């Protein structure tokens, strides 16, 4: 399943979400706004440190990313 990265135009919050099906309504988890913009290539620019799963030192991450737990 594809994971897309979004940026909220309302509060400028960035988040990732799993798209179960096309046309799904995306809302910002911070402010609940639907004014979100999909960013290109969700993983590419996060690969330099944050997304390293082998030795991230974080045990509370279940989403494969430390972006939400630090
Ligand atoms: Zn927002």
d(CA 61, CA 49): 15
pTM exceeding the 0.75 threshold for the entire prediction: no
Query: How far apart are the CA of 26 and the centre of ligand 1, in A?
Result: 11
Q: Binning pLDDT at 50, 70 and 90, where does residue 19 land? A: confident
Parallel, antiparallel or unpaired: strands 14-18 and 36-39: unpaired
Q: Is residue 19 part of a domain?
A: yes
Q: Is residue 15 part of a domain?
A: yes
Q: Is the pLDDT of residue 15 over 90?
A: yes
Query: How far apart are the CA of 43 and the centre of ligand 1, in A?
Result: 20
Q: Is residue 69 part of a domain?
A: no
For position 24, what pLDDT does the model report? 83
Q: Is the pLDDT of residue 27 over 90?
A: yes
Q: Is residue 24 part of a domain?
A: yes
Query: How far apart are the CA of 54 and the centre of ligand 1, in A?
Result: 31
Number of domains in the chain: 1
Average pLDDT, the chain: 76
Q: Give the residue, 58 or 10, on which the prediction is more confident.
A: 10
For position 55, what pLDDT does the model report? 47
Q: Which domain holds residue 19?
A: 3-46
d(CA 15, CA 38): 10
CATH for 40: 2.20.28
């Amino acid at each position: 399943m594809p994971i897309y990265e979004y940026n909220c135009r309302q509060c400028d919050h960035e988040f990732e979400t799993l798209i179960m099906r096309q046309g799904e309504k995306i809302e910002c988890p911070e402010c609940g706004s639907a004014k979100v913009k999909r960013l290109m290539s969700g993983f590419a620019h996060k690969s330099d440190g944050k997304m390293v799963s082998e030795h991230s030192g974080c045990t509370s991450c279940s989403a494969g990313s430390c972006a939400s737990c630090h």
